[in-house]
Amino acid sequence: MEAIAPEVKQRVEELRQLVQKASYAYYVLDDPIMEDSVYDKLYRELQQLETQYPELITPDSPTQRVGEKPATQFSSVRHNVPLYSLENAFNIDELKTWQERWKRHALKEVESAEYVCELKIDGSALALTYENGVLVRGATRGDGITGEDITQNVRTIRSIPLRLNVENPPSRVEVRGEAFLPLEVFRQINQERRDAGEQLFANPRNAAAGTLRQLDSRIVAQRRLDFFAYTLHIPGMDDASIARTQWDALELLQNMGFRVNPNRKLCPTLQEVAAYYEYWDTERLNLSYLTDGVVVKINLFALQEQLGFTQKFPRWAIALKYPAQEAPTRVENIAVNVGRTGALTPLAEMRPVELAGTTVSRATLHNSDRVAQLDIRVGDTVIVRKAGEIIPEVVRVLTELRPADAKPFQMPTHCPVCSQPVVRPEGEAVTRCVNASCPAILKGAIEHWVSRDAMDITGMGEKLVQQLVNRELVHSVADLYDLNPTQLQALERMGKKSAEKLLQAIAHSKTQPWSRVLYGLGIRHVGSVNAQTLTQHFPTVEKLAIATPADIAAVYGIGAEIAQSVYQWFRIPANQALIERLQAAELQLAQKDITPVTEVKTSISGKTFVITGTLPTLKRDEAKALIQNAGGKVTESVSKKTDYVVIGEAAGSKLEKAQQLNITCLSEAEFLELLS
C-alpha cells in the first residue's frame, strides 16, 4: 500500500478542524464564522480526500456526522415534519447526474418531468405551525428534527400572516420558508452598530440568524426581517386534494397570505432549468436580497412521493449553487503596492485558490485601517472573496488557526519604491507617497494614459512602461511623444518593426478626442463617463482650466468633490506645463466641432429611471444611452425619487418595489413612445 504523504494527513486534519468549528458555530452557537459556499468547498475537499484515502476516515470526522445539536438558549421543540437539507450541485453536469439518479429510483420509467425553480435565499429556515388558521408556533430549523421555539419573534415579521387568509382553513398547516434581511436593512443595521461601537455582522445571513434569536422581540421588530414561503404540509390530508404540484402549492401559499418569491419559474425541461440558472448568475446582483443558488424541485407531488428521501436529502430536489464567491486560503506574505496617485495599498499574497471561476493569489487589504481591523498576519488562514465580482479582497481572518509566531503587520513609514517618507493626510484612510518623481507613480500614470479607455496605445504594455521609466526615457506622459526609433530599439524584445508599430500607435493616439485626453490625465475622481460629461460642457481645455468649482459643479452629474479635484489639478504649475507640452505635441485638447452646449428640454429631462429585466429588443446599455441622451438619469435601485421603471422579462423585485411605491412602470414600447 502506498504511503500517504504527510501534507495530505495535515490537510485532512486542518479541514476537519475548520469544518467542525464552522458546524459548531452555525448549529449550536447560531453565530456562523463562514459563508455556506466556503463551508461547502471545505466539506467537499474533505470528502474527496477521505474517498481517495479511506484509511484516513475517523469516527469523529464531520463527514460521518448526520446532524448537530440545536442551540439551548430557547426551548427546544420537535418538528412535526422534519426539515431536510438539500443535496448540492455546483454545475449543470452535476444537475444532469442528479436527474439520471432520480430517474433510476422512480417506480416506473419516466421520460421527462417538469421542474420548479426558485432562488435559494441566503437567510434562516423557519417552520411555522398554524392551527385552525392561526399561527401558534414558529421554530428555527435546528438540526432538522429539533429546533428552537421563537414564536414571539416570528410574530414580528410582517410578511408572515398571523392568521391564514382563507375561509375554513385546515385544522393544522405546516409552512416552511426562509427569513432574511433585505440588503438595505442589513447595511442600515451595520451602520447603527458601527456608530455604537458594536461588532458588525459579517453578512445578512448572520444578521438574520442573530436577529431571530434575540430575547427581546422589540429588537426583532425594529430590524424588519422579511420572509418567503416555499412549501407547506397539511397532516391527515391528501396533498392532491388541494395541490397536485409544487407550483400549485406556491400559488396556494400566496393565496393564504404569504410572500412567495416572484422570480420562481416552471421549467418543462432541464435545459430551461439551466437557462434560468445562467440568467440569475448575473441578474441576482440586482436583487434586494442575497441568493447563492437555485433550488430545483420536481413539480409533481405524486412523483416526489415515489422518490422519497435518502438519510439526509429528498431525492426529488437539489440546490444548484453558483460558483463560490468566497473561499479559504493562507496568507504567505503581505506586500505594499504604490499606485499612480501615490496611494500605498497593502496586498495579501496567498496560496492560490479558485474563486468565482478564476485562480486568485493576491487580494487587496485596502489601507492601514482595514489591516488593523482584520488584524491580518502572515501565516493566517483567511476568507477571501471578489468585491463587486472583480477585485479579490480578504473578508475576515480565522484567528483560531493562527500560527503562534505570527507578528502584526505594520505599514511602512517610507515608500517601498522611492524610499521617501510617506504621509497620511488628516481625515483620510490612505497612506500616500507624495514624491512626484516616484517611479511607481510615474509608471501608474503612464499605464493609465495608454490604457484602452484613455489613449489606447497598442503595444505599450506594463513591462515596456517599466523599462521606459527605469531607463529614465520618460518622466511624464508628454515624453512618450518625443520617443525615437533608436531609443525604442535599445529596449529588451524591441526590434525595428516593433518600434515602428509602437511609434505609429503613439502617433495615432494624437487623434483621440478631448474626452479621452481628459480621462487619461488621471485627475482624481474623473472617470471616463465624467470626462465625457465635462468635455461636453467645457469643449476646450482653456475653458475647463479657468472654470471655478461652482462652474464645474453646476454640470448635471458632477458633484462638488469632482469639481474641487478638477479645479485643484489645473492650479498646479507642473500640470499646467504638461498641458502646454501636450498642446505642442498636437493632441486633441478641444472638440473638433465645437457647438454651444444648450439644455434641450424633453419629456424626460431631469427624470430618474431604473431598468430591470430583459427588454425585447434593446440591450440595457442601449436603453441607458437613450435616457441619458434625452436628459434623463439612470440609477440601479428603486426609491421614492424614481420617476419611471422600465420593465422587461423577469423584472423581479424592482418591479415589486415600484408597484409598492406607485411608480410608473413602462414596457419597452411605452418607453420608446415616451422618448418620441
330-360-453 Cα angle (round to 5):
145
The reply, when asked if residue 676 is annotated as ligand binding, is: no
Residue 321 assigned to a binding site: yes
The answer to the question of whether 528 is labelled as a binding residue is: no
Strands 146-148 and 76-78: antiparallel
Instruction: List, as one string, the DSSP characters of 51-88.
Output: HH-GGG--TT-GGG----PPPSSS-EEE-SS------E
Strand partners for 177: 126, 229
The rounded distance, in Å, linking the Cα atoms of 308 and 314 is 6
- 96, 121, 228, 229, 293 from 118: Cα distances, Å: 18, 9, 11, 11, 9
Query: On the CB side of 268, how many CA atoms lie within 13 Å of its CA?
Result: 0
Is 85 annotated in some ligand binding site? yes
* 39 belongs to an annotated ligand binding site: yes
Whole-number Cα distances in Å, 635 to 198, 284, 378: 32, 17, 41
Euclidean distance between CA atoms 201 and 187, whole angstroms: 9
For 127-161, letters b (16+ CB in 10 Å) and e give: bbbbeebebebbbbbbbbebbbebbebbebbeebb
The answer on whether 178 is annotated among ligand-binding residues is: yes
Residue 361 is assigned to a ligand binding site: no
285 annotated ligand-binding residue: no
524 is in an annotated binding site: no
Separation of alpha carbons 642 and 187, rounded Å: 21
Report phi then psi at 354, rounded to 5.
-80, 130
Which one from 9, 21, 96, 120 is the annotated catalytic residue? 120
Instruction: Tell me if residue 463 is catalytic.
Output: no
CA distance 130 to 106: 33
The verdict on whether residue 239 carries a ligand-binding annotation is: no
- Is 567 annotated in a binding site? The answer is no
Q: What is the CA radius of gyration of the chain?
A: 30
Q: Tell me: is residue 40 an annotated ligand-binding position.
A: yes
3-class state of residue 521 by DSSP:
coil
Residue 640 annotated as lining a ligand binding site: no
Judge contact between 444 and 373, C-beta under 8 A: no
Minimal CA–CA distance to 647: which of 625, 670, 666, 664?
666
End-to-end CA distance of the chain: 78
> Is 402 labelled as part of a ligand binding site?
no
Residue bearing cell 495608454? 450
Residue with cell 431571530: 212
Residue 654: partners with Cβ closer than 8 Å, 6 or more residues away: 286, 288, 610, 612, 637, 638, 645, 647
The answer to whether the beta carbons of residues 442 and 469 sit under 8 Å apart is yes
Residue 36 assigned ligand-binding role: yes
Containing 11, the helix (H) or strand (E) segment is helix 6-27
- Annotated binding residue 118: yes
Burial grade of 25 (CB within 10 A; 0-12, 13-18, 19 or more): middle
- Closest by alpha carbon to 264, among 282, 285, 249? 249
User: How many whole angstroms separate alpha carbon 326 and alpha carbon 411?
Assistant: 26
What amino acid positions are annotated as catalytic residues? Answer: 120
Binding-site residue set for NAD(+): 36-40, 85-86, 118, 141, 178, 297, 321
Binding-site residue set for Zn(2+): 415, 418, 433, 438
Binding-site residue set: 36-40, 85-86, 118, 141, 178, 297, 321, 415, 418, 433, 438
